[in-house]
Amino acid sequence: MTRAPASGGRAAASTAFLLEHVAKLLAVDRSKEIAESVGILTSAKKLFVYGVGRSGLAARAFAMRMVQLGIDCYFIGETITPVVSDGDAVLIVSNTGSTMSAIQVANIARRVGAKVISVTGHPGSKLAHASNVVLMIQTNGGAVQARLAPLGTLFEAATVLLLDGVVAQVMERLGQTEADMRGRHAIMV
């Protein structure tokens, strides 16, 4: 049970709740799905990511690291994003797996021959069914979660960390170092 430190109030309780529950969510064995995802990501011609709202922010954080690893990566919906083609990979983040635009992206990607990886919280969702690989993050909800981690906060936090783990595995597969990535880090003038 998550308890707030006496002086920390709800903010401290929320942080403690998130740390405890994200750790539990990430302790689930996804090694098979992660290995499949890494294989798809490292063999794709181009990588595209997609998500809406805070799921989109988690997807963008992942895309940034992929670019820093030297992978040709784009966020779907930007004006300079090229078309998805055969041999490409698309990673989609959607807690519900029922966001219409996410399902459309997955279906179009599959139709043109791209591989689809989804991060979702619902195994029976249309997005999960349209995906080649599903990285499942199932949160249970409930009154405490609604108070301390409202809406999709727990899913989104776990997604960022799970995808950072995927980044580390892609980094290893490609033989990249942090110094290599730093050389591709955006420089603001």
Helix (H, G, I), strand (E, B) or coil at 120: strand
CATH number assigned to the domain covering 30-177: 3.40.50.10490
Q: How far is CA 102 from the centre of its chain?
A: 13
Identify the top-confidence range among 3-7, 95-99, 136-140, 177-181: 95-99
Interatomic CA distance for residues 164 and 65, integer angstroms: 8
Interatomic CA distance for residues 91 and 120, integer angstroms: 11
HEC states along 1-69?
Answer: CCCCCCCCHHHHHHHHHHHHHHHHHHCCCCHHHHHHHHHHHHHCCCEEEEECHHHHHHHHHHHHHHHHC
Interatomic CA distance for residues 94 and 77, integer angstroms: 15
Q: Report the pLDDT averaged over residues 17-41.
A: 93
Q: Report the pLDDT averaged over residues 139-145.
A: 73
Q: What was the pLDDT predicted at 188?
A: 53
Q: What was the pLDDT predicted at 2?
A: 52
Helix (H, G, I), strand (E, B) or coil at 73: strand
**Per-residue pLDDT tens over the stretch 111-136:** 999 999 999 999 999 999 999 999 99
Q: What was the pLDDT predicted at 189?
A: 45
**Per-residue pLDDT tens over the stretch 61-114:** 999 999 999 999 999 999 999 999 999 999 999 999 999 999 999 999 999 999
Interatomic CA distance for residues 18 and 148, integer angstroms: 8
Q: Sign of torsion, CA 165 112 53 128?
A: negative
pTM score: 0.90
Residue 70 CB coordination number (10 Å): 13
Helix (H, G, I), strand (E, B) or coil at 86: coil
Domain layout of the chain by residue ranges: 30-177
The two tokens of residue 94 are: 């959607």
Q: Report the pLDDT averaged over residues 148-159.
A: 84
Q: What was the pLDDT predicted at 183?
A: 78
Residue with tokens 């966001």: 99
Note whether 106 and 93 are within 8 A (CB).
no
Among the listed residues 64, 74, 56, 72, the one whose alpha carbon sits nearest the alpha carbon of residue 159 = 56
158 pLDDT more than 90: yes
59 pLDDT more than 80: yes
